[in-house]
Amino acid sequence: MTIHVLVIDDDPTFNAVLSRALTRRGYAVSSATKAEQALSAARAQPPGAVVLDLNLGSSSGLQLIRPLLDIAPECRIVVLTGYASIATAVEAIKLGATQYFAKPIEVEAIVAVFDAPEEFEEAGEGEVPSDPLSVGRLEWEHIQRVLHEHEGNISATARALKMHRRTLQRKLAKRPLKA
């Protein structure tokens, strides 16, 4: 029996690439880039598995976990994020996600969750990643994301981060911290 996978990611390129990769591996795949679109797709065809991005534009993917499980109680939800933290990993698992991965991630790791669910349950479903990013690295990545959102404008980024412009410039002059 073919598992239906719903891919929910607001980055259309990543969404398309992941959907194609899963289709090539024999899954029936549908995709969504917005929360409302995802819930409609899930109601139309309840998924057996979901790949859910933690950040969906201005909203959190965590808000979709409960409604998706209400629609398809047996579906396995894999949360992906570019900004991994122990707090969001714990929250995702508490809400009912099966697994939590930091991007970039190999498709094989996602497929392993779908193909061998009992193995993951025995291994301790919802374990927090053993190598979370350091606080310094999380700060660096957050600054880079906000800087990108403000198209490289340091003054606008500093205002958005509620940080003095010179402090931000000093932080940007440093090399990125190791994970």
CATH number at residue 164: 1.10.10.60
Question: Is 27 domain-assigned?
Answer: yes
Q: What is the pLDDT of residues 60-111, one digit of tens each?
A: 899 999 999 999 999 999 999 887 777 788 889 999 999 999 888 889 999 9
- The answer to the question of residue 149 being in a domain is yes
Distance from C-alpha of 56 to C-alpha of 167, rounded to nearest angstrom: 29
Residue 114 neighbours by CB under 8 Å, 6+ apart: 3, 5, 27, 48, 49, 76
Total of domains in the chain: 2
CATH number at residue 94: 3.40.50.2300
- The helix/strand/coil state of 7 is strand
Tokens encoding 113: 């969750």
The pLDDT assigned to 90 comes to 86
Among candidates 43, 94, 88, which has minimal Cα distance to 70? 43
Give CA separation, 85 vs 31, 50, 90, 119, 143, in Å.
25, 20, 9, 24, 15
Q: Please tell me whether residues 116 and 142 are part of one structural domain.
A: no
DSSP string of 129-175? PSSPPPHHHHHHHHHHHHHHHTTT-HHHHHHHHT--HHHHHHHHHSP
Using left for φ > 0, alpha for ψ between -120 and 50, and beta otherwise, residue 69 falls in: alpha
pLDDT at 23: 94
- pLDDT tens, residue by residue, 106-159: 899 999 888 765 544 444 444 445 555 666 767 777 787 788 788 889 999 999
State the CB neighbour count (10 A cutoff) for residue 142.
12
71 domain residue, yes or no: yes
Could you tell me if residue 179 is inside a domain?
Answer: no
d(CA 48, CA 72): 7
Q: Which domain holds residue 70?
A: 4-122
